[in-house]
Structure 1
Amino acid sequence: MTTDNSKVIADFLALFAQKDASKLAPYFHPDIAFHNYGDPEIQGRDGVIAVWEGVFRIMERVEFTTLHSAVNGDLVIEEQVHGLALPGGKLAPIRNMAVYRMRDGQIIEWRDYTNQEYARSLLR
């Protein structure tokens, strides 16, 4: 993997459409901390992979798109659209802010922020 942090994140996000959590693993530092949409923080690579395995089981489609990105050394901040679709449902364009802190080309800290009520309304 490259150590260009913006490229690492772009490559990482492109994998979500494949819905294979094992492909995300190389992007996670073993000590990653993941805080998603206000849920309790998940610690460690295995825990984060388990979260995404669950999401991929539930969602028919998962597509992440970056609208804007700001990079300062090991910090990458992105405005994103998380496209999520339940089986038989339309792709819901959920606006999201993501903050990634990198270490040695891997994500060691990841925080996602969105309006959960709005996201749920789009998924109905």
Structure 2
Amino acid sequence: MATPIETVTAFFSGWTGGPGALQELIAKYFTPETVWETIGSETTYGIDQAIDLCNRLENDAPPFKFVLEWSAIAADGDMVLSERIDHYYNLDGSKRTMIKCMAICQVRDGKIVMWRDYFNHSDWAAVLQAPEVAA
């Protein structure tokens, strides 16, 4: 079985943007009891609520590509603390923005049972802005 760090890195590294990508990872790595909390935003309980939130976020954000850069990751038992930089790109490859994030996840039996994310929500506003279109 994968270690907690391997589970968390597989989950986060599997997301590259695109419709439904995060939802597929949630279905694979979450449990019916998983709590996903983004500090300062909505908390979800279980797979269905998490997928519903992703669907709503996708509807709010223009299409993008996503690249994750790991800054640090460490585990203490089943708890994994990570720092990452989420890079968001327009579909033409131009950079939209980046968000520096901290996350803590709890892993049991290869599944994420708790994910708490911390980031500046004003940075998320840049993801929601439509890309500029050249005239």
Indicate the TM-score class for this superposition, using the shorter chain for normalisation. 0.7 to 0.9
Aligned amino acid, residue 31 of structure 1: E
Runs of 4+, deviation exceeding 3 Å? 53-57, 85-89, 121-124
Secondary structure class of the residue paired with 1:22: helix
Q: Does 1:66 align with 2:65?
A: no
1:64 deviation in Å?
2.2
- 2:123 and 2:54 map into 1 onto residues whose CA distance is 21
Contact 1:13 1:65 in 2 (8 A): no
1:10 deviation in Å?
1.2
Match in the other structure for 1:34: 36
- 1:71 and 1:41 map into 2 onto residues whose CA distance is 23
Q: 1:46 aligns with which of 40, 45, 48?
A: 48
**TM-score, normalising length from structure 1?**
0.83
**TM-score, normalising length from structure 2?**
0.77
Percent identity between the two aligned chains: 23
Q: 1:114 aligns with which of 88, 112, 119?
A: 119
1:28 deviation in Å?
0.6
1:13 deviation in Å?
1.3
Q: How many residues align?
A: 123
Contact 1:28 1:45 in 2 (8 A): yes
Match in the other structure for 1:13: 12
**RMSD value over aligned CA atoms?**
2.3
> Runs of 5+ in structure 2 lacking a partner?
130-135
